[in-house]
Amino acid sequence: MIQHEKIHFKQQIEMLFLFFYFWYITEFLIRLVIHKNVDKAYRNISFEREAYHHEQDDNYLFTRKKFRWIHFIKG
């Protein structure tokens, strides 16, 4: 598993999977309205921003605080 997917897995666990997908889709739709661009909407989902931002850091999941993705909701 690559780091990006590992980060998503941690997010899914803390969101009990169901809420992860619920919020993922909800945030995507909100951002789609804002950006009017599918790729931009996807890239700016807070789960994705956290994963992209830290995907090069192999130690990230050892130091990551729970619900860290919330910090990525705002730019």
Q: Calculate the CA dihedral of residues 13, 23, 32, 7 and round it to 10 degrees.
A: -10
Interface pick for Zn ion out of 11, 45, 50, 51 (rule CB under 5 A)? 51
Question: For residue 48, which of 25, 66, 64, 14 has the smallest C-alpha distance?
Answer: 25
Q: Is 45 in the site for Zn ion (CB under 5 A)?
A: no
Nearer to Zn ion, 27 or 48 (CB): 48
Q: Is 41 in the site for Zn ion (CB under 5 A)?
A: no
Where does this chain touch Zn ion (CB under 5 A) — which range of 11-19, 35-43, 49-57, 64-72? 49-57
CA angle 49, 22, 38 (to 5 degrees): 50
- The residues of the shown chain that bind Zn ion, judged by CB under 5 A, are 48, 51
